[in-house]
Chains A and B, each alone.
Chain A
């Protein structure tokens, strides 16, 4: 479904991604792991169209995506739930969801889309008229995911969904992600919480210093000593 082939990205004169190659097949959940600064978020931002690769190609459903602007990538069916959630703070929950459906045109999100969102995330229905900035961390994460789903994407990019959330909230969020998968959405997830991520995913890649260092089936990596070493050294 999604293929990255030899993608390199530079900030000015400094290259931060060096020849990254990975793939995500339809219906899968793939995790991108690695320590901070390894290049995980950069990879995801490049897929979304916020960054332009200096080399390599990105192909989605047969079409080249590298270099296309963010809204074109969204139109093709890739939605991103970015690191730090990035809820529009001065917009209500409902308006945030409507922004998720922005790409679909029209004056407002279709009523049935909104209903479906509230069905999956009942907490959000309660807070429909509240400003996004006043929600708790976990609620914001729900909203961010719901917002990303409003565009009806085929591939969902999740960047560190557990960041800054209390352990119980993390559980809730991951349950939601599992539910989304059951509905047939393909997911590429960047996570720091490797153990949790590997339990849910089909396959995973480990990044280090802007390159893919390891890749394989999730259950194999779960018990792999290399992972532990990559995170904790020694």
Chain B
């Protein structure tokens, strides 16, 4: 695929030199503008948020740069960056307002936002000249006579530079740990958060970058066409961008590029200018219905046959590096005090206190509905408690958001599906190494030595964790294609990736057969021997009795017993809670 793209790039760059007509250069420039817009939309969509108000930022960039040029006579050399930054800032403000909204709400509010901006632009005549449009925007004048852009060819190369820059930045972002984080947020947000990834921070980053790109596109447009009208804010533009993103291939670097080229040229060459929108509509509908992954996705599948598994990463060992566990202090690993959680009038958990000692394996058992999952949710920050307190390694973590708790070293493995289904196994673990990253964003984008070295180190770590759980050879396999037992092992590797000192395992043996359960028990033993402390919720009694140091029993949200496995097995209250007493029918 890369070879094709490189060849196409060379061809495109050579076009003006071989005397291609200005008309086609203009089309390519417009395609470039839309590429910038589509690339931004694509980036935010990678995190699962669809911004159907994106054209507003296009217009804001255009008018900001244009107005600064018209009223203050500033050169585009200055106004373009200012416009881009301002647009990014507006995006940040909107993000603060809306990113906590999910799915449909976000889409609707962004649409509404674009409409408000359009109405303001149309009605605030003093500022924007309204529907009559703003004329006289200065063309590109970089202050030096020689560097004033005059011919189409000059604009073409400037646009080519912008496109190249955008391609580079988006490729770097999507191909790095940031891209993995975005995909993780879309795929399984809870798991992403508990691996130390802040959904809000990453989505906001994507939002701001996409708005800056839109600002650049708009500013370029302003100084290229030199005339602006509120039509820029029309929903038509958004539809065009959406077609380019979806039909091109969402979530992929080349998707918007292919989409913008195809959907600028095809309608033009068909000379159906009058019905262009109708054509767009039909194509979008057909693509959405039959090819939702987009052109690039299917093309790639065609060209490659079966996607080759990434070469197994060189990792000598199946060792478990546990830096943090070894460095732990004297306080108990986890200390829960008098936790109470109520739903309506009912107490799901009542006055629960338990302590997990350092290097201990503690099981939390009890019949269905006893409150075990609720307790886990509170400890890991997914749910607030009404009263009570949770101390981790001596520090109070009550009420912290999940990704912060994960950052400190308390990691949870969820029930059943604790993986990112679409990604290969290696990427699953690699994503979870997120919180170990020390390099900053700019280093990642520029691919500095430090960033590359860190990425390689994390890959090795991910591979060795896969080796440790016994999935070494399945590194390239998509997680959803693994068997139930293998997915569970992968979930364990994911939980170990952020180098925790305490592991919370939620029914790790559910659905596993005897052999797989034995494998799991062995792994947990090894994990403990490396200094981690483990708290698990389980129903599989063989595992609990065979593995755990101590057991805490809950029933109806209340702790009814605590002790060694043997003590618990003979405890009359426990037997009654699990098997039922049968006395209830006596008085029938």
Contact = CB atoms under 8 A, between A and B. Distances in A.
Interface of A: 12-16, 35-37, 137, 160, 162-164, 166-168, 170-171, 174-175, 178, 192-197, 199-200, 209-210, 227-228, 230-234
B367 interface: yes
Nearest to A210: B511
Interface of B: 346, 367-369, 480-484, 487, 507, 509-514, 539-546, 556, 565-566, 569, 574-575, 578-582, 584-585, 587-588
Contact of A196 (B543, B545, B585): B585
Given A35-B539, A192-B368, A232 B584 contact: no
A232 B578 contact: yes
A233 B541 contact: yes
Contacts of A160: 368
B369 A12 contact: no
A192 B582 contact: no
Nearest to B514: A209
A30 to B, nearest CB: 17
A196 B588 contact: no
A13 B368 contact: no
A171 B581 CA distance: 11
Contacts of A164: 368-369, 556
22 contacts: A12-B480, A13-B483, A14-B487, A36-B507, A37-B509, A37-B511, A162-B580, A166-B556, A167-B584, A175-B585, A192-B367, A196-B580, A196-B584, A209-B511, A210-B511, A231-B578, A232-B541, A232-B574, A232-B578, A233-B543, A233-B565, A234-B565
Given A36-B510, A192-B368, A209-B512, A199 B585 contact: yes
A108 to B, nearest CB: 30
A71 B569 CA distance: 44
Contacts of A13: 480-483
Contact of A195 (B511, B540, B582): B582
A96 to B, nearest CB: 19
B579 A209 contact: no
A199 B585 CA distance: 9
A35 B366 CA distance: 11
Contacts of B483: 13-14
B584 A174 contact: yes
B582 A175 contact: no
A14 B511 CA distance: 10
Contact of B588 (A163, A175, A233): A175
B347 to A, nearest CB: 12
A197 B509 CA distance: 25
B569 A234 contact: yes
Contacts of B484: 14-16
A193 B584 CA distance: 11
B585 A171 contact: yes
Given A174-B584, A209-B513, A37 B579 contact: no
Contacts of A230: 541
Given A14-B483, A37-B509, A175-B585, 4 more contacts: A36-B368, A36-B507, A36-B510, A174-B584
A36 B584 CA distance: 23
Contacts of B368: 36, 160, 163-164, 192
A200 B582 CA distance: 10
Nearest to A209: B513
A194 B579 contact: yes
- The 9 A-B pairs of least Cβ separation, nearest first, read A233-B541, A193-B580, A37-B510, A195-B580, A36-B539, A164-B369, A171-B584, A233-B545, A14-B484
Contact of B585 (A174, A194, A234): A174
Nearest to B486: A14
B584 A170 contact: yes
A16 B587 CA distance: 40
Contacts of A234: 541, 545, 565-566, 569
Nearest to A193: B580
